Structure 1
């Protein structure tokens, strides 16, 4: 009986180890990203990786008239089949056998770059003041970062002097901002404290307004930060003397709700119902209405009038 119990315990331990091993190997969700070489065509790439050319175009938002360029990156769509699973396991095994020790997080998305030997792009023309330090967040991939920063995976790899595409949450990498608009740069650089302050300003100034009006208030503050007529930080703009009633009456210190945060994030992402307005006021309560006379009215949302 004792031998049977020992055998049973050993069998269960072995089974759990095997199960965990299979789970860890299958857990990472891998995207394949192909770097276009000179002379490549979409039809050849589709044939090489056994994917439908129309699906290849759809995944990469390529129109029938668009031309592909050397150095661009393509996502290779993966079919949810046993063949695809074997490819991913093989790819995982190949990366895990490299000299650098790699660790993977369960249920996390990773992007693997095909053609690691592709010639690195020239980064000498990117000025240092057009490069920021970025801390990798949970779920970030090089493909997503390249899309968000209007650059290529190859450029990010070259800037960070690395060959593999694996990112670890919390690590610091260098990212270019030379291809971004001033609004996009602001969005990428905004801190949690600045987002909190913006949400408090939105809540203090417009919590009784329609949602579009709350986005509009956030947009005015952002427009001021980006304008040469005003200071260039959220704190300086919001606390500038005599500008916002929420500061003078203390409502800036109230805890914002989720709607205010959502409006702040939407404005940071580029939404601007005011089309560039720098001022807003409520004609019913404003004490300095004469200041706005002669300025062009852009729009009216709720009780607020937005002017340039």
Structure 2
């Protein structure tokens, strides 16, 4: 009984520590986003917020100070006392807004909240974004405006304006409009690929190249993606992969095998922009191919494993 009496208080202390640790862990992080005003310079902004100019440039991937424009958004690094005080105030405001809206949203652990500083309050010019360069996007778990702005090469202000939002709260499953006018065709494809298309791409990789080195599997995925983006081929994964006579995995039924995690990893890496073939549209194994004459006269770009990749 004596040991039991000691155990219970110790258990309570442990639970209290765990509770506070969890609370600290789940607190949202906060970034300050400064909207560049007319006449601003990076050195003046760095001085105003007491941050190192080079750190400010590095944080925002700026190599040329003359490239900044009015309305652009800068992430202000949080590394000094004044900014930490601002961060505390921002978090206090965040929790106040959360309490007021808790019945309307899903609050995610480790949410990244962006406080946007816009002295001039100029609205982003969204009228110049063509309607066919805006997509509907369904918010996933953990998505934040801060991350979406970076993923879609746009600004938080532009996303807020496109969706008539006054704050940066997002609900899982919520449909929002996102611009794709600043993305390359490859980036657009990556943002739009569905789970079914990812599964099909992984099956094609597995069926065509599961015995190849990993980089060779990424290369096969890149060829398929290059075809989807090329005007010479159909513009969907299903049409490219099932196009008659193009892939042996379709002809011999291996396209129906269950892919392993390596195939999925190769698919995601290629979708994210990796292309070991540097733009190849075809590949073949010289020892097993039955139509080698088709590839004569085409430029060989590289050889990876047993496959030759050509334009």
Q: Report TM bin, short chain.
A: 0.7 to 0.9
Deviation per CA, 1:188-221: give whole Å up to 9, x if none: 1001111111011101100111112111110111
Matches of residues 104-119 of structure 1 in structure 2 within 5 Å? 104-115=107-118, 118-119=121-122
CA distance in 1, matches of 2:303, 2:129: 42
TM-score (norm 1): 0.85
CA distance in 2, matches of 1:264, 1:41: 42
Match of 1:262 in 2: 265
With over 3 angstroms needed to count, the CA separation of the structure-2 counterparts of 1:106 and 1:160, relative to structure 1, is same
Residues 1:170 and 2:173 aligned together: yes
Match of 2:71 in 1: 71
Deviation per CA, 1:236-282: give whole Å up to 9, x if none: 11111211111111111112122211111111111112222111111
Deviation per CA, 1:90-119: give whole Å up to 9, x if none: 212224445961564332322222228621
Match of 2:207 in 1: 204
Q: Indicate the RMSD between aligned Cα atoms, in angstroms.
A: 2.9
Contact 1:42 1:53 in 2 (8 A): yes
Please state how far the C-alpha of 1:49 moved relative to its aligned partner.
2.5
CA distance in 2, matches of 1:116, 1:285: 66
With over 3 angstroms needed to count, the CA separation of the structure-2 counterparts of 1:33 and 1:213, relative to structure 1, is same
Matches of residues 241-260 of structure 1 in structure 2 within 5 Å? 241-260=244-263
Residues 1:217 and 2:220 aligned together: yes
CA distance in 2, matches of 1:147, 1:298: 33
CA distance in 2, matches of 1:205, 1:133: 34
Which segments of 5 or more consecutive residues in structure 1 lack a partner in the other structure?
1-11
Deviation per CA, 1:153-205: give whole Å up to 9, x if none: 22111111112223333222111111222111111100111111101110110
Contact 1:24 1:106 in 2 (8 A): no
CA distance in 2, matches of 1:152, 1:238: 36
CA distance in 1, matches of 2:286, 2:52: 60
Match of 1:39 in 2: 39
CA distance in 2, matches of 1:116, 1:25: 32
Contact 2:42 2:65 in 1 (8 A): no
CA distance in 1, matches of 2:113, 2:218: 34
Match of 2:53 in 1: 53
Contact 2:223 2:277 in 1 (8 A): yes
Matches of residues 296-307 of structure 1 in structure 2 within 5 Å? 296-307=299-310
Please state how far the C-alpha of 1:80 moved relative to its aligned partner.
7.6
Matches of residues 1-308 of structure 1 in structure 2 within 5 Å? 23=23, 27-63=27-63, 65-79=65-79, 86-98=85-97, 101=101, 104-115=107-118, 118-308=121-311
TM-score (norm 2): 0.84
Which segments of 5 or more consecutive residues in structure 2 lack a partner in the other structure?
1-11
Deviates more, 1:88-97 or 1:177-186: 88-97
Please state how far the C-alpha of 1:232 moved relative to its aligned partner.
1.0
Contact 2:111 2:144 in 1 (8 A): no
Match of 1:7 in 2: none
